[in-house]
Amino acid sequence: MPKPGVAVQVVTAIETVYGLRFPIGMRAWDGSRAGAPDGPVAVLRSPRAVRQLLLRPGRSGLVKAYVTGHLDIDGDFAVGLRHCRELVAHVHAQGPPGPAHWPRLIGLIARTGIGGRRVPVDTERSTVDFPPSILDDTLARSCGYWTSDGPEYHLSDAQHDKLDLVCRKLGLGPGMRLLDVGCGWGSLVLHAAQHYGVVATGITVSAEQREFVRARAVEHGLSESVRVLRVAPRDIADGSFDAVASIETGEHVSARDYPAYCQTLRQLLRPGGQLLMQQTSGGGMFTASYMTPAMATRPVEHTLGQLRDAGLEIKDVMSMREHYVRTIDAWRHALDFNWEDVVGRVGSSRARIWRLQLADNALAFADEKMSVHQILAVRP
């Protein structure tokens, strides 16, 4: 009697050892198939994925197998990832396999040809600096503000509506001085100067971003009202701004430095000046530790306490969690549409990390494991 195919052997081993029903279909390089007959399918591209699935079917094993291209998900990636999250949660609760299961697992690994060799892993950590091809014309890497469900309303509209929302909350008007901490590619400073008549200063750690925003300002006739500096907030000499914005920048400040960051934001404001902080909290299951390790998200209650301790009065707190699901979904669809271009520019591993990160975070926001808030505060 012929032996069952690789997919059947792997699914049977996982279900037996971990006491669960494998949640999606599986297809292996030998053409065999097992698991659920409908929906997304986990594709074993080579024997190297077997070791990770059998011995480390938790977060790190699945991430490494996917990023290195030995494991894929055919069909709806987000739905497949949701089922993988359920698998990981079950395995985590169950604990590692006991000694009685090791002969079965080692035997199957040996039969598939992987032996004791480990899956090679690209150790380069990723950031959220997505390529322009998956962004809109603002080049914003932050949550948009979706004001319509209409078919003609797109990510660009949501990002422009977010910029207007920030400007309105800050009460911007002609001649006011705005500081954007971590200005990125300049969407806020350019928008505020062009549409609200402010004198805008952006600060960034990137020389490329500084030169890009300066060129954009010249292009739009805003060189007299927009400046970009490559300095830290604490090194700005001419403070006393009417308004300060920190749009998804505080996540890059460590817990140790965050109290000083809040103090600096307060000191940069004139008395009566307002701060608009947009900041995420929580993290995805697969990407919280593997991607963007420098990010330090914190509960919104903790952020509010730090701002109060710095001497700021909280005026308004607004959740934008649902808006981030739609924003990320727009990025995901653009990434898939431009997949070959992105892979050609940054390589397969980096592109796969981005796909995993976006799907994982979209699920986390949808499931309330992550959130994002706009916080409006004032210096009394």
* Mean pLDDT of the region 201-224: 97
Whether 249 and 182 have beta carbons less than 8 Å apart is answered as yes
What lies within 8 Å, CB to CB, of 256 at 6+ separation is none
Per-residue pLDDT band at 86 (split at 50, 70, 90): confident
Whether 290 and 262 have beta carbons less than 8 Å apart is answered as no
* Spatial distance between the Cα atoms of 301 and 39, rounded to a whole number of angstroms: 39
Residue 127 has pLDDT above 80, yes or no: no
Ranges for all domains in the chain classified under CATH 3.40.50.150? 132-378
Per-residue pLDDT band at 115 (split at 50, 70, 90): very low
Residue 351 has pLDDT above 90, yes or no: yes
Residue 114 has pLDDT above 80, yes or no: no
* Mean pLDDT of the region 267-294: 82
* Spatial distance between the Cα atoms of 326 and 155, rounded to a whole number of angstroms: 8
pLDDT in tens, 2-20: 678 999 999 998 888 888 8
pLDDT in tens, 29-77: 999 999 999 999 999 998 888 887 777 666 677 888 899 899 999 999 9
**Signed CA dihedral, 142, 147, 150, 152: sign only:** negative
Residues paired with 35 in a beta bridge: 25
- Average pLDDT score over the chain: 90
Record the tokens describing residue 116, joined without a space: 């004791």
* Spatial distance between the Cα atoms of 258 and 327, rounded to a whole number of angstroms: 27
Residue 213 has pLDDT above 90, yes or no: yes
Q: Which residue in the block uniquely carries the two structure tokens 């359920």?
A: 86
What pLDDT is recorded for position 56?
Answer: 65
* Mean pLDDT of the region 183-199: 98
Top-confidence residue, 335 or 91: 335
Ranges for all domains in the chain classified under CATH 3.30.1050? 6-111
Domain 132-378 has CATH 3.40.50.150: yes
Pair type for strands 241-247 and 269-282: parallel
What pLDDT is recorded for position 57?
Answer: 62
Residues paired with 178 in a beta bridge: 200, 243
Top-confidence residue, 322 or 90: 322
Q: Looking at the domain that runs over 6-111, which CATH code has it been given?
A: 3.30.1050
3-state secondary structure at position 376:
strand
Stated pTM of the model: 0.90
DSSP H or E segment with residue 130:
none
